[in-house]
Structure 1
Amino acid sequence: MTAKTIREITARNLAVFRRQPVSEISGSLGDLGTFLPLALALAANNTVSLSSTLIFSGLFNIVTGLVFGIPLPVQPMKAIAAVAIARGFSNGEIASAGLLVAGCIFVFSVTGLLRWFTNVIPVPVIKGIQVGAGLSLIIAACGTLLSSLGWAGPSWADNLVWAIVAFLCLLVCGVYRTFPYALVVFVVGLLFAIIRSVVATDLPSLVFWRPYVVVPSPAEFATGAVDAGLGQIPLTTLNSVVAVVYLAADLLPEVRTPTVTAIGLSVAAMNLLGCWFGAMPVCHGSGGLAAQFRFGARSGASVVFLGLLKLVIGVFFGESLVGLLKRFPAALLGVMVIAAGLELASVGESLNTSARDLSGVLGEPDEAGRLGEIPPSEFERKKRWTVMLVTISLLVGFKNDGIGFVAGMLCWWAYEIPSLVERVRERFGRRIHL
């Protein structure tokens, strides 16, 4: 990346932030519904350092915002986090999982495998992964964050009433999208958390960050890498690299889209640095990008702002924030996650109208001399829809991106059998009857 490109990105970041500062700040908070619950659960188990997680994810937010110029999220590696929480991983075990994934993504990036993945994976499969990830977010929010709520509990600040109010406001804000929904919800939730912390006499205190180095033992590396890292590799490759590039092009067509190699190197660098200091393994996810876009972010300035906020909080408060953040209402976080899931799932709508692989296929000129795109045939539309639906169904059903991907590819290849048979017949003559 040249100095001229960096200057252009910086100029656009500043211009967008000056034009719509409230929207950029609101959008920067859009992915907290995913980030906070996992970070807090891992910190509460002493699996990661909350201070290091905030500081390093903040630094990565700033760098990616300045380099890529889009609201690219820095979010937890979900498969690793789920295993680490369930099994009570140590610092070394979760660091090992993150380092394994980072190493594999680095190799994929420098060898060109990521570019090859992008070229050979059909758009319906990519769209299926995106829609499936969106539906998975909604299911997780309803099943984990909202299902345990009652009409009056667990507290006056966190119950089904507040969830319904937040959801109704979300529906209204779907029409009036300029309203800073995420910012308002975050401020309200933070006020509720502060009031509850005051009552419990458990407010954060000034505690400066004390960095330490995590060096996994051979046993920790074997446990973390095999039990959590291997399952994360396909998820990171498909949803955090390939799908992110496609989604960025769909949501922000006027902005230079990062290459899969650049995104892959970014994911690798973040974890090759942060995991050694007890930070949570992180990646760039299409769900986080959809969430931040949904709540108003349109440039890298949004995540630069978020990064600076994380840095200040991590350096000066760190681990003392665990009690406060645990009291942030799950009702509000859950609705924010639902909003992110809906935004991500909505990208499937363009499958047969304006997907990237349909552009550039030009037909006859119209009366004004403009060439129009050739729409896909009815068979092609059905084929694309079926492949996307198979990908979504298996991904959601098995809660595994890899299974959804394999199922979608098999369905796509099944549709290619007739043309393959025809090519074989043309090559070897009519002697072959299939």
Structure 2
Amino acid sequence: MKIKSFEFNLSELAGAMGDFGTLFPLAIGYIVVCGLDPAGLLVMMGLTNIVTGLVYRLPMPVEPMKVLAVVAIAQQWSPSMVYASGFAMGVLWLFLSATGLMGLLARITPRPVIRGIQVALGVMLAVQAVKMLAGGWVLGVLAIAIVLLLRRNRYAPAAVVLVLLGMAIMLVKGTFAQVQAPVFALPTMVSFSLVESWQSLLAAGFSQLPLTATNAVIATSVLIKEYWPDKPVSETRLSLNMGLINLLSPFFGGMPMCHGAGGLAGQYYFGARTGGANIIEGLLELALGLLLAQSIAGLFAAFPLAIVGAMMFLVGIEMTKFAKDTRWNLDLLPLLATLVASLWINMACGFLVGLAVYYGIEWQQRRGCRKGAA
């Protein structure tokens, strides 16, 4: 049976909402703390989602680069510094794609290390989700129950029901009274300096590279092959895509963007199966950015965190399931080394430790074979 490239239904709409857990907090931080123009941020993200859905004809998450976002928000970067960081990352990802270095890195990364990264990401998402649930356990448990009951329901998909529930809670609390009347607003051209681009690389960009390489490129490519074996997307192509996105979007107020295995797992978990999910999400973001830019930060901030946490928690659990194909006698040690180092230090360190353990074991095995042959 031929897989459709585009569907526009409630399941695709639910899948489009599947990775809101990472988008909401960082987008709010960029807008409120760093002063980014909501219209530019949302419109560029919307256009990126639409183009990505049309090109790949698959769900393909578009997310903030997390290390850059956390550092930018913590250090209260100026808007021009944020835009400069996106441009700098675009240059780096184009370089990695054009030189073939991204493909080389993917070829030398063994499956147990990828599995370790995926499990580490799942654990991190679950831990962050528990923090979100802490302020509303009753609502959170109810949201989890709704997901487990309705996740595969074609007529009332879980993510759609949860978003409607969150909006109903906001309505009862009177949040929508703060929404300003829709005003059409286009993103404006912005400027930044190459000096700021270099400063952003030193402050966070170089630290972002390993995380994006492992999670947004290698792990995402592997996940696509597992979900859609007939529609593989290479690591080099993902790197090229992120390079082009981040070269263009900063000039119109876009934040640094990447893909992500966690976001893809979230989209798939909640029902996305085609490029229609990206197009639906993109159209929603375009509408919000063009018409409700002045109210969007308050709306995002007022949405019940417990509902977002419930969605994120279940996606995190789903990510850990990819370790089930681990060969316990051969792959367990590299996977555990990757997992522990990722959780203890960071994902970049976990990646390097996992590689060292995997190739160390392989070297010992070859050495033992040579001695046996002698």
The CA deviation at 1:51 is 1.3
Q: Out of 324, 342, 351, which is 1:405 matched to?
A: 351
Q: Out of 106, 109, 130, which is 1:142 matched to?
A: 130
Q: State whether residues 70 and 299 of structure 1, in contact with CA within 8 Å, keep that contact through their aligned partners in structure 2.
A: yes
The aligned counterpart of 1:257 is: 232
Give the whole-Å Cα distance in 2 for the aligned partners of 1:187 and 1:173.
14
Give the whole-Å Cα distance in 2 for the aligned partners of 1:242 and 1:177.
31
Q: Tell me the amino acid that sits aligned with residue 88 of structure 2.
A: L
1:155-211 alpha-carbon deviations (Å, 9 max, x no partner): xxxx2221121123233346x565511111011112322443457x31132222242
The aligned counterpart of 2:58 is: 70
1:350-404 alpha-carbon deviations (Å, 9 max, x no partner): 234xxxxxxxxxxxxxxxxxxxxxxxxxxxx322022111111111122x21111
Q: State whether residues 85 and 196 of structure 2, in contact with CA within 8 Å, keep that contact through their aligned partners in structure 1.
A: no
The aligned counterpart of 1:110 is: 98
Query: Under a length normalisation based on structure 2, what TM-score does the superposition of the two structures give?
Result: 0.93
Q: Out of 201, 208, 211, which is 1:235 matched to?
A: 211
Q: Percent identity?
A: 32
The CA deviation at 1:422 is 4.9
Alignment of 1:163-312 (within 5 A): 163-173=140-150, 180-198=157-175, 201-217=177-193, 220-253=196-229, 255-312=230-287
Q: Which has the larger radius of gyration?
A: 1
Q: Tell me the amino acid that sits aligned with residue 197 of structure 2.
A: F
Aligned residues: 372
The aligned counterpart of 2:361 is: 415
The aligned counterpart of 2:291 is: 316
Query: Under a length normalisation based on structure 1, what TM-score does the superposition of the two structures give?
Result: 0.81
Closer/same/farther in 2, CA of residues 224 and 39 from structure 1, 3 Å limit: same
Q: State whether residues 207 and 320 of structure 1, in contact with CA within 8 Å, keep that contact through their aligned partners in structure 2.
A: no
Tell me, yes or no, if structure 1 residue 385 matches structure 2 residue 362: no
Q: State whether residues 43 and 187 of structure 2, in contact with CA within 8 Å, keep that contact through their aligned partners in structure 1.
A: no
Give ranges in structure 1 of 5+ residues lacking alignment.
1-8, 150-158, 353-380
Give ranges in structure 2 of 5+ residues lacking alignment.
none
Q: State whether residues 34 and 72 of structure 2, in contact with CA within 8 Å, keep that contact through their aligned partners in structure 1.
A: no
Q: State whether residues 43 and 290 of structure 2, in contact with CA within 8 Å, keep that contact through their aligned partners in structure 1.
A: yes
Give the whole-Å Cα distance in 1 for the aligned partners of 2:260 and 2:317.
15
Q: State whether residues 129 and 310 of structure 2, in contact with CA within 8 Å, keep that contact through their aligned partners in structure 1.
A: yes
My pick for the range that moved more, 210-219 or 334-343, is 210-219
Q: State whether residues 129 and 312 of structure 2, in contact with CA within 8 Å, keep that contact through their aligned partners in structure 1.
A: yes
The CA deviation at 1:43 is 0.5
Q: Out of 109, 122, 128, which is 1:121 matched to?
A: 109
The SS at the match of 1:318 is: coil
Closer/same/farther in 2, CA of residues 195 and 205 from structure 1, 3 Å limit: farther
Q: State whether residues 51 and 209 of structure 1, in contact with CA within 8 Å, keep that contact through their aligned partners in structure 2.
A: yes
Q: Tell me the amino acid that sits aligned with residue 233 of structure 1.
A: L
Q: State whether residues 127 and 348 of structure 1, in contact with CA within 8 Å, keep that contact through their aligned partners in structure 2.
A: yes
Q: State whether residues 95 and 224 of structure 1, in contact with CA within 8 Å, keep that contact through their aligned partners in structure 2.
A: no
Give the whole-Å Cα distance in 2 for the aligned partners of 1:198 and 1:138.
28
Q: Tell me the amino acid that sits aligned with residue 297 of structure 2.
A: V
Q: Tell me the amino acid that sits aligned with residue 89 of structure 2.
A: V
Closer/same/farther in 2, CA of residues 218 and 13 from structure 1, 3 Å limit: closer
Q: Out of 302, 305, 310, which is 1:330 matched to?
A: 305
Q: Tell me the amino acid that sits aligned with residue 187 of structure 2.
A: P
Give the whole-Å Cα distance in 2 for the aligned partners of 1:252 and 1:66.
16
The CA deviation at 1:35 is 0.7
Q: State whether residues 194 and 324 of structure 1, in contact with CA within 8 Å, keep that contact through their aligned partners in structure 2.
A: no
